[in-house]
Copies of this chain bind each other. A is one copy, B any other.
Amino acid sequence: MRAHLAPGQGLVSLTKGIESSSLKTMSEIMEEVFATSPRCPIGVLSGPSFSREVAEQHPTALVLASRELAFFRRIQHKISSLTLRIYTSSDVIGVELAGALKNVIAIASGISDALSFGDNTRAALITRGMAEITRLGMACGAHKETFLGLAGIGDLFLTCTGKLSRNRYVGYELGSGRPLPEILSGLKMVAEGISTTLSARRMARRKRVEMPISEQVYQVLYKNKSPRQALNDLMSRKLRDEF
């Protein structure tokens, strides 16, 4: 497929996923599809943002990443306001991977909540989850600080605490013992973390990055592993340095 764009126009991706067959991110697919000449500026917008709250003008901060920063700095100034603050970044792959992979951790966080494990456990899962998705991101060329940023901890924080997250909901229902097909049949929208778990596992193997939490989420999602056993297996791993 090829598509065309007028000169002076650009494209912004809002989608957070990794195609599980090709392991490509949305901006990589867009670059293929919109192979204009001269090259069309492509950006990625991400960060902690329930759209309803943006519409209600609650102060929101987002990151806009692109390799064409000159073009997108103009967009940054055009769309920023007293309630919408846009930061720019050149780390496109980091912003995309952080946004996609954090959904796997959100599923883990939902599972933990369903098992009534409390705040300590959830915070530990989120933190160690960030450590492993950062490792994978860096193996793919992303910058570490992007995972400390709005597309990383910012969005994960929102996903794991807000009531509206579909990925956390899927984890919660899994942790409550419902089978995945039954959960999916009741969902009106896609929970991206389910397919991203597959992509993450394939990428981790390809890059030889250890991702113990994502691996357990995979086992629970796709291999009917008991959530409680998955958590036990995480806690009984060999003790090590934090980083």
Taking Cβ atoms with an 8 Å cutoff, the residues of A that contact B are 47-50, 53-54, 56, 58-61, 63, 76-77, 80, 82-83, 85-90, 117-124, 126-128, 130-131, 134, 143-150, 152-155, 157-158, 160-162, 231-232, 235-236, 239-243
Contacts and interface: CB of A to CB of B under 8 A. Distances in A.
A192 to B, nearest CB: 18
A240 B88 CA distance: 7
Contacts of A239: 76-77, 80, 85-88
B89 A124 contact: no
Contact of A61 (B127, B152, B153): B127
B243 A145 contact: yes
Contacts of A54: 120
A242 B127 contact: no
25 contacts: A48-B127, A49-B120, A53-B119, A56-B118, A58-B117, A59-B120, A59-B121, A61-B120, A77-B239, A82-B232, A82-B236, A85-B124, A87-B241, A123-B158, A127-B148, A127-B149, A130-B153, A131-B149, A144-B145, A144-B148, A145-B242, A146-B242, A149-B242, A150-B242, A157-B160
